[in-house]
Amino acid sequence: MFIGAGACPVSAIKIAESASSEVLCVDIDEEAIRYGTDLARHLGLDDAFRYAKSHLSDLAFAASATHIFIASLVPEKLDILRELRPIFRADCRFVVRYGNGLKSLYNYPLDIDGLKDWRAEALNGAGSIYDTMIVSRP
């Protein structure tokens, strides 16, 4: 699942292609959904790639997902983690992109203190336009 996929979800497309897995892209923008769906069709990914308007619209998919990505341009990252916590698999990993400090000019920040009930591992984001954190159950 890729929350905040947008109209040109390059990361989600790469996941669908390289991992040969089904990807549910989520975006609140109907135009982004339309363009992203057209792009997936053009790339021949119709069977492995689809869009939804809410991360709560396909609870069965969320419950079976091994990885859930949250894009850096999604402002309510902690709310999404809380909403999905009772649903997702015990071994599911969240890949959360964010930008704190100067990087918040281009990304929504993440309140690291809000992750105290989670296991969180920051990846080295030096030189990147956003930071990435792997979040899972403790």
Locate the domains of the chain by residue range.
Answer: 1-63, 66-138
- Strands 119-123 vs 49-52: parallel, antiparallel or unpaired: unpaired
Please list the alpha-helical segments (H only) found in 46-138. 59-64, 77-84
* Residue range 4-48, pLDDT digits in tens: 999 999 999 998 888 778 999 999 999 999 999 999 999 999 888
Residue 125: pLDDT band with limits 50, 70, 90? confident
* Residue range 73-116, pLDDT digits in tens: 999 999 999 999 999 999 999 999 999 999 999 999 999 999 99
> Could you tell me what percent of the chain has a pLDDT over 90?
86
Q: Are 102 and 128 in contact (CB under 8 A)?
A: no
Residue 11's SS3 state is helix
CATH superfamily of 1-63: Vaccinia Virus protein VP39 (3.40.50.150)
pLDDT of 135 strictly over 90? yes
